[in-house]
Chain A
């Protein structure tokens, strides 16, 4: 699944960026070290990248770099959490989450005076999925549970959020990015999204 690789040469060809830019972005940690995959080819050693991820990342860098410095961009892409604390009121005012998500959180008994980035992230994901109609309120409650209980385990690591249903019964999962799954026939994967994407969006909103 993630075996879809692109060689460095093809990548530069496709995106029109230069070697210099690619290496500068690597130095600034905009492109993670582990995406540079060394493989031997008929011309000797060559470098490959995970195709989907690198194309998406380069597209983002090219489109955001006018407004932000490279260092600020590096913060956006880093999977680590920064020091942010916000009250429910601030979150509403800044249009990061809506009242519905906050109400759901209250129902789940996880209301707090101040929210750290980890919790804002959870609210943001919840809000986004609710608003897009991907999940129901009931499923939202499940999401709150799985995120508050387990999201910290993925601190600094890429992870994905999955929603599966079997005979209408929903279940959420947090997994390491790129893991393979096999289910029995009755299971339908309703949603599978990388948490990194959510985090990038959220950091741009906060920043």
Chain B
């Protein structure tokens, strides 16, 4: 493959339809439809992009609206607008401040969510940091999970080393003012990890070494090997030392 910086740029400022291909920098400021795969150094969407194919870019920034029918592979992804990806995301660095819907799985190293993310498949990463709303229909496998609850979030199962799910001390202006997403809570069927701290969480089973069940939790069964602390405002069906 030729060097990426020797390729042409693709700029869309009005309304345009292209077939995809290999480019250096891609910038979409108007409305664009891409019928095919794109391979580029950087991708920036400020308008609307609808793509049928795979996107492979060193960095991808989406400020406008984007629908991608295909997988997204990039070393850096930042979504500030509205994005739907009908495919998998592979990115070591994913940041979502807008809304991102993924009809596939997410593989990454560092994931930062300040907005809303909705994933149909599994999520796998080293660190997941959430200050917004997250819904994972599959299995979340992460080294460290840190979730500050603003609205109602959920995951089917969580497995990892450090899992820390807590209520945000003071409901911040934005989430409160829009009044969407429901009360701060987290739902999962199974949570397994070494160090677990939970608040406002509803789960069937929680397993781990050192577990802290904080206020507002409702857990059916807790299994622990180290220490277990249960807040008086929490409901735990039964707990068992293993």
Chain A residues in contact with chain B, CB under 8 A? 9, 13, 18-20, 22-24, 26-27, 43-45
Could you tell me which residues of chain B, from 117 to 136, have a CB within 8 Å of some CB in chain A? 124-126
Can you show 23 pairs from A to B with CB atoms below 8 A apart? Answer: A9-B207, A9-B223, A19-B159, A19-B161, A19-B192, A19-B207, A19-B209, A20-B143, A20-B160, A20-B161, A20-B194, A22-B159, A23-B141, A23-B159, A23-B160, A23-B161, A23-B192, A24-B143, A24-B161, A27-B124, A27-B141, A43-B221, A45-B189
How far is it, in angstroms, between the C-alpha of A43 and the C-alpha of B189 when the chains are bound?
12
**Cβ of B10 < 8 Å from any Cβ of A?**
no
Question: Do A44 and B204 touch across chains, with their CB atoms under 8 A apart?
Answer: yes
**Cβ of B190 < 8 Å from any Cβ of A?**
yes
How far is it, in angstroms, between the C-alpha of A27 and the C-alpha of B123 when the chains are bound?
10
**Cβ of B242 < 8 Å from any Cβ of A?**
yes
Q: How far is the CB of B200 from chain A (nearest CB, A)?
A: 22
How far is it, in angstroms, between the C-alpha of A9 and the C-alpha of B194 when the chains are bound?
14
- By beta carbon, the residue of chain B nearest A20 is B161
How far is it, in angstroms, between the C-alpha of A45 and the C-alpha of B205 when the chains are bound?
10
With A26-B141, A43-B205, A44-B204 as contacts: A20 and B193 at CB distance below 8 Å: yes
Compute the total of residue contacts between A and B using a CB distance below 8 Å: 47
- By beta carbon, the residue of chain A nearest B107 is A27
Chain B residues with CB under 8 A of A13: 242
User: Range of interface residues on chain B?
Assistant: 20 to 34
Question: Do B126 and A27 touch across chains, with their CB atoms under 8 A apart?
Answer: yes
Chain B residues with CB under 8 A of A20: 143, 160-162, 193-194
Question: Do A45 and B190 touch across chains, with their CB atoms under 8 A apart?
Answer: yes
**Cβ of B115 < 8 Å from any Cβ of A?**
no
Could you tell me which residues of chain B, from 142 to 172, have a CB within 8 Å of some CB in chain A? 142-143, 159-162
**Which interface residue of B124, B160, B192, B242 has the most chain A CB atoms within 10 A?**
B192
Chain A residues with CB under 8 A of B81: none
Given contacts A19-B159, A20-B160, A27-B124, 13 further A-B contacts (CB under 8 A): A9-B207, A18-B161, A18-B194, A19-B160, A19-B209, A20-B162, A20-B193, A22-B159, A24-B143, A24-B161, A27-B126, A44-B204, A45-B190
Residue interface bits B219-241, CB-to-A below 8 A is 1, else 0: 00101000000000000000000
How far is it, in angstroms, between the C-alpha of A18 and the C-alpha of B224 when the chains are bound?
11
**Cβ of B71 < 8 Å from any Cβ of A?**
no
- By beta carbon, the residue of chain A nearest B220 is A44
Chain A residues with CB under 8 A of B64: none
Chain B residues with CB under 8 A of A22: 159
How far is it, in angstroms, between the C-alpha of A117 and the C-alpha of B206 when the chains are bound?
45
Q: How far is the CB of B40 from chain A (nearest CB, A)?
A: 27
**Cβ of B98 < 8 Å from any Cβ of A?**
no
- By beta carbon, the residue of chain A nearest B125 is A27
Q: Please name the 3 residue pairs, one residue from A and one from B, whose CB atoms are nearest each other, closest first.
A: A20-B161, A20-B194, A23-B159
- By beta carbon, the residue of chain B nearest A26 is B141
**Which interface residue of A20, A44, A45 has the most chain B CB atoms within 10 A?**
A20
Question: Do B194 and A19 touch across chains, with their CB atoms under 8 A apart?
Answer: yes
Chain B residues with CB under 8 A of A43: 205, 221
Chain B residues with CB under 8 A of A18: 161, 194, 209
**Cβ of B214 < 8 Å from any Cβ of A?**
no
Q: How far is the CB of A37 from chain B (nearest CB, A)?
A: 14
Chain B residues with CB under 8 A of A26: 141, 159
Question: Do B194 and A44 touch across chains, with their CB atoms under 8 A apart?
Answer: no
**Cβ of B208 < 8 Å from any Cβ of A?**
yes
Chain A residues with CB under 8 A of B242: 9, 13
How far is it, in angstroms, between the C-alpha of A49 and the C-alpha of B229 when the chains are bound?
31
Q: How far is the CB of A204 from chain B (nearest CB, A)?
A: 26
Question: Do A44 and B189 touch across chains, with their CB atoms under 8 A apart?
Answer: yes
How far is it, in angstroms, between the C-alpha of A27 and the C-alpha of B141 when the chains are bound?
7
How far is it, in angstroms, between the C-alpha of A22 and the C-alpha of B159 when the chains are bound?
9
Q: How far is the CB of B88 from chain A (nearest CB, A)?
A: 14
How far is it, in angstroms, between the C-alpha of A23 and the C-alpha of B159 when the chains are bound?
6
